[in-house]
Amino acid sequence: EVQLVESGGGLVYPGGSLRLSCAASGFTFTPAWMAWVRQAPGKGLEWVGRIRSSAEAGATDYAAPVKGRFTISRDDSKNTLYLQMNSLKIEDSALYYCTIDHYRITTTVVKPFESWGQGTLVTVSS
């Protein structure tokens, strides 16, 4: 069974930094493309960004609102995904979910965000 356990959330001042972690188990982490998705209280889902497998140089992609401030990384030896958040803004306050970006079943069939952690809450406030 896939398990994704996020940690590291908390209260931080605007302009501050925070590092989230996601411990993965129950699947082969190394080749998986991993992603972070967030959800502000009472709001919708927002894809934050992803990291490809280390075999693909661990290349990353980010949503426009976080590009240049957030960095996603991974440690395959620990089956752990990270999200380094810098220059935090009030609008970054959200529940941050770790998820498997997608499974590519065939060239025309892609299954995104099949498994989710329970999330870790980030609150940016003065």
Instruction: Please tell me whether residue 81 binds another protein under the rule CB under 8 A.
Output: no
From the centroid of its chain, how far is CA 29? 14
Strands 120-124 and 10-12: parallel
Measured CA to CA, the distance from residue 48 to residue 64 in angstroms comes to 9
Instruction: Please tell me whether residue 11 binds another protein under the rule CB under 8 A.
Output: no
Is 74 in contact with 80 (CB distance < 8 Å)?
yes
- Interacting span for another protein (CB under 8 A) from 18-26, 71-79, 85-93, 113-121: 113-121
- Interacting span for another protein (CB under 8 A) from 20-28, 73-81, 86-94, 116-124: 116-124
Q: By CB neighbour count within 10 A (0-12 exposed, 13-18 middle, 19+ buried), where does 59 fall?
A: exposed
Which of 74, 117, 120, 124 is the binder for another protein (CB under 8 A)?
117
Residues of this chain that bind another protein (CB under 8 A): 35, 37, 44-47, 50, 61-64, 97, 101-102, 105, 108-114, 116-119
